């Protein structure tokens, strides 16, 4: 780090235990961070702030935070025939839940779409393919 470079988010540690950490933000550091362009809603206000430490066994791993392992709740409307179809498949195939089945089907569709995009991009950037395609178009015209 350069000698005059600003270090954002400066604070002092007031108290540190196995379970908690208390830090203090002073007014000067807060104003310096604001002046450096950090949005106010991303800064802790001046004063003391207590944080609880999470035991190591409860800390999320990178794998836990991977999008495929993160569940998001949202509401949507399905056509009745589609819902009935997948509900029947869930029952007939003894699948644990409709959510698992829909997630599986949507993941397959997403992965197929990504593979297709990859192939499209490779073909569009392949000069030999483009030249051969142009020749075929000329012949057909």
Domain boundaries, the chain: 12-58, 62-140
Residues 15 and 45: their CA atoms lie apart, in Å, by 18
- Look over the chain and give the mean of its residue pLDDT values, rounded to a whole number: 90
**Average pLDDT score over residue span 91-117:** 94
CA–CA dist 6, 100 (Å, integer): 49
Q: What is the mean pLDDT of residues 114-126?
A: 94
What does the block give as tokens for 122?
């490779």
3-class DSSP assignment, residue 65: helix
| Residue 48 bridge partners (DSSP) | 24
Would the pLDDT of 55 be above 70?
A: yes
Per the confidence metrics, is the pTM higher than 0.75? no
35-66 CB burial, b ≥16 within 10 A, e <16? eeeeeeeebeeeeeeeeeeeeeeeeeeeeeee
* pLDDT confidence of residue 1: 47
Q: Is the pLDDT of residue 6 over 70?
A: no
* Statement: residue 9 has pLDDT above 90: no
């Amino acid at each position: 780090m350069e000698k005059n470079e600003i270090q954002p988010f400066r604070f002092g540690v007031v108290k540190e235990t196995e379970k908690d950490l208390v830090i203090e933000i002073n007014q000067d550091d807060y104003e310096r961070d604001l002046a450096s362009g950090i949005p106010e809603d991303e800064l802790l206000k001046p004063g003391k702030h207590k944080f609880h430490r999470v035991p190591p066994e409860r800390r999320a791993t990178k794998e836990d935070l991977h999008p495929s392992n993160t569940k998001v709740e949202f509401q949507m409307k399905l056509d009745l025939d589609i819902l009935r179809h997948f509900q029947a498949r869930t029952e007939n195939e003894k699948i644990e839940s409709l959510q698992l089945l829909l997630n599986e089907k949507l993941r397959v569709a997403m992965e197929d779409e990504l593979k297709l995009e990859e192939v499209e991009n490779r073909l569009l950037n392949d000069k030999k393919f483009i030249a051969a395609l142009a020749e075929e178009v000329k012949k057909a015209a």
